[in-house]
Structure 1
Amino acid sequence: MNPPCGRCTKPVYPTEKINCLDKYWHKGCFSCDVCKMTLSMSNYKGFNKRPYCSMHYPKTSFTTVADTPENLRLKHQTMLNSQALYKEEFEKNKGKGFSVVVDTPEMQRLKKTQEQISDIKYHEDFERSKIRSDAPPPENRQEEPTSQELNNQADNQIPVPPSGVRKRYQAMYSYTAAEADEVSLKEGDFIDDVEFIDEGWLFGSNQRTGQRGMLPANYVRPV
């Protein structure tokens, strides 16, 4: 004959039987008497032969607890569970830092200093990239002008018109655009409506392709 369950009093069959606290329980009925949380042999706490979770375990006023085999087993199991939980939480939070930081004046000062350092680094990187962008990258030069050609170009070059004055130029060398706002050139292409930007770059339209954008000034000559 199957024994009754310690909670629902219905018969407990061998496949779902838990034997604890001198009673038999269905696995689903073996729960905390207060919050009804399902318990197991590793996390329950017994009091007056009734199961409780750690939170709702009745507080007693005993000054001395007898080291019975049951109490020693529970003490050892609780210690193992605490160590396992601590290790699990440590592994989860490793490398993440603290989830909550007290906003003290010292922390505010450090935060402000870090923001200032980040701003300075951003401006330094921006200025470096701006200087690098003033000259066309070497890999974009399909036909690199020789020193003699550059000297001849300097001797025969007509001064670049000031900003706002548009002229027609012709490409002396081929150039492949490195950015979306640049214009690719082929030797001999005519560039219309050229506008001076600075000493290294012009802005105009390639008559052959219809593209309009920036182009290196040392790759073209005015006509």
Structure 2
Amino acid sequence: MNPHCSRCNRIVYPTEKVNCLDKYWHKGCFNCEVCNKTLTMTNYKGFEKRPYCSVHYPRAAFTPVADTPENIRLKQQTMLQSQVHYREEFEKQKGKNFSVVTDTPELQRLKRTQDQISNIKYHEEFEKSKSTHHPQSNPTPAASQNYHHDPTPEPVRQAAAAPPPSAVKRYRAVYDYAAADEDEVSFMEDDVIVDVQLIDEGWMYGRVERTGQLGMLPANYVEAI
């Protein structure tokens, strides 16, 4: 029994039969679905079991995807990763150009974080200053012998242990500062810093007059009064 043509639905005889795309066609009916161009087995393109020429062959088009909770989450995660990458590159560039950029409070904090040697030096100087400003509680034998002869020996020792000139300077805060470590002190703009001891070019030790707190503070956050 002869099959029917998929185009005209008439009987297809063996001499004019084309078997393609799981269907049977007359040779004259095997043409493009759009332009009706006659096709052969070598130049047709099949789409959904229908023949097309190369010009009118359907091409898949991108369809917009609605924002779903999962898509929103992935978008946010991608954005965060991009920001992290940008921040890393920004920090690298700041480190490379540090020597040619004017010191600012932010760059000074970066220098403190990167320069661990300065922090070690601070602790050494701080321990030395504590031992210098805390006189021995036990008197020497010579002091014990002279105790009855000199009724006021203690004021003389206190005068000898007076702080250096830098310790009596007063400084005014020009920025707010929040302590980042336990040995640092927080203060606000216009706070007065007293009992100041210089540690190095970037850091000093002092007491905030408003709160009475003692600790380490960045030197470029304050100015001398």
TM over 0.5: no
TM, length-normalised to structure 2: 0.29
